[in-house]
Amino acid sequence: MTALPLDLQRGACPALSAPMMTGDGLLARISLIETISPEQLAHICRLALTHGNGMVDISARGNLQVRGLSETSAPHLDADVRAMNLPLREGLAVEVPPLAGMDDSEIADPRPLAEAIRDAARNITGLAPKMAVVVDGVGVLRLSDLLADIRLVAIGKHDWKLLLGGTEQSAYVFNVLRETLVVDTVIDMLKRLAILGNKARGRDLASDLAVNEPTPHTSSSSSGLSRGSASVATVDPSQMLGTSPSMTAGKVAASPFDLFRLSNHRHAVGIGPAFGQAKAEHLIALCGEAARLGIRSLKPALDHSLLFFGTEIAFRALRDFAHDNGFITSVTDPRSHIAACSGSPACNSATIATHEIAAAAAAECADLLDGSFKLHVTGCPKGCAHPQPAALAICGTADRVSLIAQGKAADQPFAFSSFADTNATLRRLADLVGSERRPGENSAACLARIGSDRLAAAATGRS
Ligand code: SF4
């Protein structure tokens, strides 16, 4: 048979028809642009049991991932999923928040712009595999913490701020545009990125535009809302370290693990598997219960969640069922504040069992995990689960575990721990934060104030 297109490079994106090799076989991604039914998700899970190893991920961006496929079984999964006629996203990733169009608090509905950009970008080739455009209408659930090459953020019913690269907090602000100019401007930018090559990302474009002419669509005369020029201004990245964007504004970012009141008397509830991964049988049982309760639609969403849509009464029963079966059902669950990659044994780059470490951390360090930051537990310095800096990261290396403060997994560690001592080390750090915390101070701020030297002393038991 024809060999599958395997792309093992850093930055590769495991699509449905081009799965990526991982430690437990090929991984295929199913990206949806609309809701599906509980029965459809249960069917995907049955396909994961038939063709894969029965493990299903919900990624931080809200994509389904089927693990443990072989070169023989992956094409069958592809064909069987396509036969389901699901609302699959093909081509460029143009993402909107999961409650878009149903959320009364939204400044603007981002879906028409997202669809127009997706359509117009159909023939652009040569973009980076992980190229992502985010269109955020600024409702209750935001995509601010997800990386995006091009990000549009509603600032008025018909006005959009355009940012390049990074998270919303760390991005370069390019300009403010009238809605009528947005699609052409974004398509211009995507074409420029394609010309720069398939490794070029939004930040490269920011540097490119900083020394080149502004695009015609972004001049102050064309939009009437321009900041005066197309010059690139950067937000101070230090503002984001250890805190979500909303934290810097003094409030905790909304979590999907909650109950949401939507327009037209609809409701949604967020439920998720621990660390974004579940056995297919467990998801099938959850979907069965949802269907039994009359819930007709769901959507995989940000932060490894599943948003179910229906009535409030059904949700209370579904939440009880999910909680009793080990799912995350509340933002107060410390597991929802840990970003852990698949780790060992699922990924052959991993040197630590990330989920075991993360589960122990959630059980033993709940006081540290107050929602002010994501504890990053990563099997190797690639840091798949949390590409952004974190207030605290634990990273597997060849012969030990490194600890990083205010940085990415590959950044300079402040201390090391033996594999066996990892959770005890974390407990010592949690104790230090517990004893040092000032009234009203959250863990992220406390970790930042304590600083690397004192964290290192605590990690190694010298304090
Ligand atoms: S970060 Fe985790 S999942 Fe990604 S390559 Fe490393 S060990 Fe594997």
Average pLDDT per consecutive 10 residues, the chain (463 residues; last block may be shorter) = 38 78 93 97 98 96 96 97 95 95 96 97 94 97 95 97 94 94 97 95 83 43 32 34 32 80 92 97 98 97 96 93 97 96 91 97 97 96 93 97 97 97 97 97 97 96 74
Ligand 1 center to 144 CA (angstroms): 23
Length of the chain counted residue by residue: 463
Query: Both tokens of residue 118?
Result: 């997706």
Ligand 1 center to 5 CA (angstroms): 20
Ligand 1 center to 281 CA (angstroms): 25
Q: What is the Cα–Cα distance from 260 to 312, expressed in whole angstroms?
A: 9
Ligand 1 pocket mutation, candidates 349, 351, 404, criterion most atoms within 8 A of CB = 349
Site residues for ligand 1, CB cut-off 6 Å:
341-343, 347, 349-350, 378-380, 382-384
Closest ligand 1 atom number to CA of residue 396 = 7
Which residues, 6 or more positions from 160, have their beta carbon under 8 angstroms from its beta carbon? 108, 113, 152, 153, 154, 176, 177, 179, 182
Closest ligand 1 atom number to CA of residue 348 = 8
Q: What is the Cα–Cα distance from 279 to 17, expressed in whole angstroms?
A: 22
Q: Are 20-90+259-330 and 335-459 the same fold in CATH?
A: no
Q: Which CATH class is domain 20-90+259-330?
A: alpha beta
Beta strands across the sheet bearing 259-261: 259-261, 267-271, 305-310, 297-301
Which residues, 6 or more positions from 454, have their beta carbon under 8 angstroms from its beta carbon? 432, 463
Q: Strand, helix or coil at 395?
A: strand
Closest ligand 1 atom number to CA of residue 350 = 7
**Which CATH superfamily hosts domain 335-459?**
Sulfite Reductase Hemoprotein, domain 1 (3.30.413.10)
Q: Strand, helix or coil at 401?
A: strand
Residue-range domain boundaries for the chain: 20-90+259-330, 99-248, 335-459
Ligand 1 center to 138 CA (angstroms): 31
Pick the CATH number of 99-248 from 1.10.10, 3.30.499, 3.30.413, 3.30.420: 3.30.413
C-beta separation of 213 from 204 below 8 A:
no
Ligand 1 center to 260 CA (angstroms): 33
